[in-house]
Structure 1
Amino acid sequence: MKKLTFFLISLLTVFTACSDGLDNVEYNRNSDIVVATPEATVTTGTSLTVHSSVTGNLNNVAKRGFCYSVNVLTPTIKDNVVEADENFSASISGLTGNTVYYIRSYVYGNSRYTYSETFTVTTAASSLDEQLKNYVAPTYEDYYVDIASWDQRNQWNLANVHDPTVVLAEDGYYYMYQTDASYGNAHTAGGHFHGRRSKDLVNWEYLGGVMPALPEWVIPKLNEIRKEMGLNEVSPETTDFGYWAPCVRKVKNGLYRMYYSIVCPGTLDGANSWGERAFIGLLENSNPANNNGWEDKGYVITNASDKGLNFHIKPDDWANCYYKWNAIDPSYLIDNDGKHYLIYGSWHSGIAALEVDAETGKPLNTLPAPWGTSEDIAAYGSLITTRQMGNRWQASEGPEIIYNAATDYYYLFVAYDALDTPYNTRVCRSRNINGPYLGIDGVNLSQDGGEMLPVVTHPYKFSNSYGWVGISHCAVFDDGNGNWYYASQGRFPQNVEGNAYSNALMMGHIRSIKWTSTGWPVVMPERYGAVPQIAITEDELVGNWEHIDLSYSYGKQKESSNMTLAADHTITDGSWKGGTWNYDTEKQILTANGVELCLQRETDWEANPRTHTIVYAGYTNNKTYWGKKKK
């Protein structure tokens, strides 16, 4: 299995700390302290000045401040927070105009928080132009070495993220979970499948691991299968297992499912036999705000082989490996008919689809022994896409499947190539969840296999930055209002700032998705930073752009070059020099040199200080293009 060479960071230790120590405070009133309901003394479209007071026994008051939210009626410090000065006053900035905010003042002392009643205030009306003028970009560091350690986890935000999965819950939070991986193995102090949450997709609160230790069913199930195969029982160290690539979904109100991968160490039968198997298991929770509330529902599926018990295949005979399906990298979807599907697979034969029972989340049909002929193991799933038909070492993994009602297509996103630098994302689509899936060039990836196009993300570099590599294994999700997002890790290139391990720095990336006129998702080149989406005018497009041909080149970080759009609608510099451009203001589509490019206002993460800019992304049948406007 390819991920057994998982770079520096997949060694794990087990311990019990799901509560993480961050939630061990009481959120109720102290009888000897009274906190006054806050008041707003200055209100604008983007800021508030608030004031409060506290009476009673003040000797133990160590901290005071205000917490606020737009959708939580009784906010706590787990929502947005600003500390107060010595007069119990504070300014809250970065707000949205003409919006209702719920605010409570608090004090902290004697290891507990005491809150006021809720104060409700509406910010002044603010035009979109004013909001853009007052836009404040995210300030957290991408090169997070100084806060990478476990004791700095409250400052991580999106640092130490790998293989994220994201769900929007009933409480208005986006919850993110991930593979066990971090810079310097900091995560090993905190359980498995670490979680965090956010209201705005910009500021993330670390929650801790959802699984304290290796599930009790794993080693017995492993030995049950080994015994049936005529193999000896094993007693591997629990620290040697891999915890990879969860997938979280809301099934309905009050029910959330998380499929997860457990990779077993060792080989089937010593030297010159294939590697040990992996398992996909299932957790359920009624409310992801309770990070300790994930209940393990046990075994779902394992690797299946169509080679019977002929597992003495040399470990380096990659194209002929023992398993047909590799039971890692789950994705989960409820289709238009209400049927539930598990989509999974990594390298091996490709990506498989399996119908599961809606009530249990387990396979709909009873699974036979995970070895035999192709017919014997048919219950383990059917092929929906493959990169190379007949080759079982094909560098594709990490499927993520969604359905977009606006286009009436199922979209399957897949990760290609090695993790460290070359990692890139592809997408294909189908009218049916079981295929056939076609690329943008019309290649039938279900029937014939082939290079999936378009390229969605790829190693890249804008000027004034180191750029990013290893951008893939994505989560794709929406906000329920037609806005779609792409989340993945991004890795620093090798030897940044003389750091021999910089490629193990993994920052969580979230990007907006736009949809082309032909119904293909394009991922914006700059990360999401909550820039107000004011309509882009034609005049703003005139000038210099950083243009990237993002088309596939194995392991190469594609760098930007200058492109100039002139006011007379000609292109006067760059690889498209001599071409023309035009702009559809209503659809926010720039067509340059015949290529349709979707526009979006986004954060300019390379600027110093960071600010907002305009970016584009678009496809031809065999090319991908990214760009951003220069300041």
Structure 2
Amino acid sequence: MRLKYFLLFIISLIALSISGCEDDEVEPKATDTETETETETKFTIPTYDDDYSDIASWSDRNKWNLANVHDPSVAYYDGYYYMYGTDASYGNVHEGHGHFQGKRSTDLVNWEWVGGPFYDPPSWVADSLNAIRSRMGLEAIPEEDINYGYWAPVVRRVNVGGQDILRMYYSIIIDNYIKSGKANTEANFDGSWTERAFIGMCESTDPAGAVWEDKGFVTTSSSDRGLDYSRDGLWDWNAYFYYNAIDPTYIVTPEGKHYLIHGSWHSGFALLELDATTGKPVNTLGEPYADSVSELTARYGKRIGTRSASSRWQASEAPEIIYKDGYYYLFMAYDALDVPYNTRVVRSENIDGPYYDITGRNFTNGEGDCYPIVTHPYKFNLSHGWVGISHCAIFKKEDTDEWFYMSQGRLPKDIPGIAVSNAIMMGHVRRIVWCPASKSEPDNLWPIALPERYAAVPDYGTITKDSLVGTWEHINLEYKYGQQNTASSLTLNADGTMSGALTGNWSYDSTKKQLTLGDVIVCVEREVDWEASPRRVTLVYAGTEKNLNATYWGKKK
């Protein structure tokens, strides 16, 4: 989908001023239930402002920390977590400074800018595009007239020939019309679709120095409609391309096989097996068009998931896959980028599916919307909250079994005093908790992101039942298109009853850190209250129930 990214490329700000965003070592303010030991421990709580418009200029990029993050992917290499994402920045200040710029961190809290893999579009993109156009009987598009977009890379550490490298798959879209080759503008509309996207690959053993070797073409957008690229009056609901070659995710299975999964908005997600050494498809792809779905998918990949089997324009994208404890977990983004963006997850025992959601709904067969909700637009009290929280990276902290969720978060529209506030893109890192699907299935665990962002809060010891007693901000994180879920007051009484947002009884298992709120089990952790002033340590929870069609998020006041 092209229109969903319009905010990334049209924003133009006249003046950008300078201010700092240093972190200070502070003593966390205790909640009224924290122990004396907790308040004695000091650590660094981030103090940078989520509104980074004052330091948005390119010359201030070393002050950005997690500012200007969009569609991130994270991999650990040589002592650092490296993150790369879509070309995007507030005020488009990144333009002219290379593509797929990144950041790196040792602690997942403090990040520094690093350069991306290349400045100019790789020459193979224009060559591949025009070679395909020639075989379709179309005129070549002069290279200087090609409109490129640089979207959504995925980066992984892999071992090739005994050496660890970073391998990146990246997306380059062509924003010209197929028929005429002209730029995608209303005035140039020629009755055809916009051109294809490409996925390429590059590798590095020196990401700190921004030294990458480009390996070229991997795959491209492909169609089951042969050479019939006309819209035929059907507008956007019956796209020409069956697979849209953007948003790659990459995995090495426990058996050592390599796979690429990609797809966005069109017919669903494609699975391609890759050669472990070259990183290229095992099978020959052939022409990126065919006269039937079966002929196309035999070459361009098996469809392993779709939001709706009957729709070619289904508002799901950005697959991200991990393997844990016998399951492949496939995360995905739902809906439009600016506000509604939210995250879902399904799983399978096999890389090629079938994938099921927490209710047993078959995502591979396109049986409808899937649950649980991993993130969704939300708002705690005393803050503007966040929207557009999806297109995530899922990764483990090195040498641990701690899993993390990272995506951009956008501020809501029209915040007073912030020009084009919804174009503020702050990177959000959250811990993942693995929560039971129901009381009767304590070992059927599903991943949910915590409501507050990660700040590396120390382990102060056991979270006790007594520390949970008191008032919380509770959010029923449910699917409301384009709306923020807001917080209500919830009181956990010392006698085991609840009042406010929820009623009934509550209980707590301190060994598992599982809080039962009526029929829903949530996982409790310590995190920083980012909405407090000053920020402080507090308790948070997240969890779901398989028939709830929602997620519980909470933060102790």
Same fold (TM over 0.5): yes
Q: Whole-Å Cα distance in 2 between the matches of residues 625 and 432 of structure 1?
A: 29
**Residue 173 (structure 2) pairs with residue 263 (structure 1):** yes
Partners of 2:147 and 2:176 within 8 A in 1: no
Partners of 1:135 and 1:611 within 8 A in 2: no
Partners of 2:114 and 2:208 within 8 A in 1: no
In the alignment, residue 202 of structure 1 is paired with which amino acid? V
Question: Whose radius of gyration is greater, 1 or 2?
Answer: 1
Partners of 2:25 and 2:45 within 8 A in 1: no
Q: Whole-Å Cα distance in 1 between the matches of residues 5 and 225 of structure 2?
A: 27
- Within the candidate set 570, 574, 580, 2:500 is matched to 574
Aligned partner of 1:591 in structure 2 is 516
In the alignment, residue 431 of structure 2 is paired with which amino acid? S
Q: Whole-Å Cα distance in 1 between the matches of residues 273 and 364 of structure 2?
A: 17
How many residue pairs get matched? 516
Partners of 2:341 and 2:390 within 8 A in 1: yes
Q: Whole-Å Cα distance in 2 between the matches of residues 194 and 314 of structure 1?
A: 39
Give the unaligned 5+ runs of structure 1: 13-80, 83-91, 96-126
- Within the candidate set 307, 316, 320, 1:396 is matched to 316
Aligned partner of 1:627 in structure 2 is 554
Partners of 1:157 and 1:204 within 8 A in 2: yes
Q: Secondary structure at the match of 2:128?
A: helix
Q: Whole-Å Cα distance in 2 between the matches of residues 574 and 629 of structure 1?
A: 14
Q: Whole-Å Cα distance in 2 between the matches of residues 499 and 511 of structure 1?
A: 25
Q: Whole-Å Cα distance in 1 between the matches of residues 137 and 177 of structure 2?
A: 14
Aligned ranges for residues 415-494 of structure 1 at < 5 Å? 415-479=333-397, 480-494=399-413
Partners of 1:147 and 1:155 within 8 A in 2: yes
In the alignment, residue 361 of structure 1 is paired with which amino acid? G
Kindly state the Cα deviation for residue 256 of structure 1 after the two structures are TM-superposed: 1.4
Aligned partner of 1:188 in structure 2 is 95
- Within the candidate set 580, 596, 606, 2:531 is matched to 606
Kindly state the Cα deviation for residue 461 of structure 1 after the two structures are TM-superposed: 0.2
Partners of 1:604 and 1:612 within 8 A in 2: yes
Aligned partner of 1:532 in structure 2 is 458
Q: Whole-Å Cα distance in 2 between the matches of residues 262 and 268 of structure 1?
A: 16
Q: Whole-Å Cα distance in 2 between the matches of residues 315 and 522 of structure 1?
A: 42
Partners of 1:589 and 1:599 within 8 A in 2: yes
Aligned ranges for residues 495-534 of structure 1 at < 5 Å? 495-517=414-436, 518-534=444-460
**TM-score if structure 1 supplies the norm length?**
0.79
The alignment's C-alpha RMSD in Å is 2.0
Q: Whole-Å Cα distance in 2 between the matches of residues 267 and 239 of structure 1?
A: 10
Q: Whole-Å Cα distance in 2 between the matches of residues 133 and 616 of structure 1?
A: 22
Aligned partner of 2:19 in structure 1 is none
Question: Would the alpha carbon gap of residues 527 and 537 (structure 1) be closer, same or farther in structure 2, given more than 3 Å must change?
Answer: same
**Residue 61 (structure 2) pairs with residue 177 (structure 1):** no
Aligned partner of 1:101 in structure 2 is none
Question: Would the alpha carbon gap of residues 177 and 316 (structure 1) be closer, same or farther in structure 2, given more than 3 Å must change?
Answer: farther
The answer to which of 127-136 and 616-625 deviates more is 127-136
Aligned partner of 1:235 in structure 2 is 142
**Residue 252 (structure 2) pairs with residue 334 (structure 1):** yes
Partners of 2:154 and 2:169 within 8 A in 1: yes
- Within the candidate set 133, 138, 141, 2:49 is matched to 141
The answer to which of 131-140 and 330-339 deviates more is 131-140
**Residue 110 (structure 2) pairs with residue 203 (structure 1):** yes
- Within the candidate set 160, 171, 175, 2:68 is matched to 160
**TM-score if structure 2 supplies the norm length?**
0.89
Q: Whole-Å Cα distance in 2 between the matches of residues 281 and 168 of structure 1?
A: 21
Q: Secondary structure at the match of 1:274?
A: coil
Q: Whole-Å Cα distance in 2 between the matches of residues 208 and 368 of structure 1?
A: 34
Partners of 1:533 and 1:600 within 8 A in 2: no
Alpha-carbon deviations, 1:4-56, whole Å to 9, x = none?
441332369xxxxxxxxxxxxxxxxxxxxxxxxxxxxxxxxxxxxxxxxxxxx
Q: Secondary structure at the match of 2:129?
A: helix
Q: Whole-Å Cα distance in 2 between the matches of residues 313 and 478 of structure 1?
A: 44
In the alignment, residue 165 of structure 2 is paired with which amino acid? L
Give the unaligned 5+ runs of structure 2: 12-21, 28-34, 181-189, 437-443
Aligned partner of 2:206 in structure 1 is 287
Q: Whole-Å Cα distance in 1 between the matches of residues 243 and 232 of structure 2?
A: 18
Partners of 1:274 and 1:314 within 8 A in 2: no
- Within the candidate set 212, 223, 235, 1:317 is matched to 235
Q: Whole-Å Cα distance in 1 between the matches of residues 552 and 25 of structure 2?
A: 36
Alpha-carbon deviations, 1:355-397, whole Å to 9, x = none?
0111111110111101112233221011111111021110000
Aligned partner of 2:307 in structure 1 is 387
Q: Secondary structure at the match of 1:254?
A: strand
Aligned partner of 1:254 in structure 2 is 164
Q: Secondary structure at the match of 1:289?
A: helix
Aligned ranges for residues 339-354 of structure 1 at < 5 Å? 339-354=257-272
Kindly state the Cα deviation for residue 317 of structure 1 after the two structures are TM-superposed: 2.5
Question: Would the alpha carbon gap of residues 510 and 316 (structure 1) be closer, same or farther in structure 2, given more than 3 Å must change?
Answer: farther
Kindly state the Cα deviation for residue 594 of structure 1 after the two structures are TM-superposed: 1.6
The answer to which of 559-568 and 207-216 deviates more is 207-216
- Within the candidate set 472, 482, 507, 1:555 is matched to 482
Q: Secondary structure at the match of 1:7?
A: helix
Alpha-carbon deviations, 1:89-121, whole Å to 9, x = none?
xxx9579xxxxxxxxxxxxxxxxxxxxxxxxxx
Kindly state the Cα deviation for residue 212 of structure 1 after the two structures are TM-superposed: 1.1
- Within the candidate set 220, 223, 231, 1:302 is matched to 220
Partners of 1:356 and 1:362 within 8 A in 2: yes
Partners of 2:472 and 2:489 within 8 A in 1: yes
In the alignment, residue 313 of structure 2 is paired with which amino acid? W
Q: Whole-Å Cα distance in 2 between the matches of residues 272 and 322 of structure 1?
A: 12
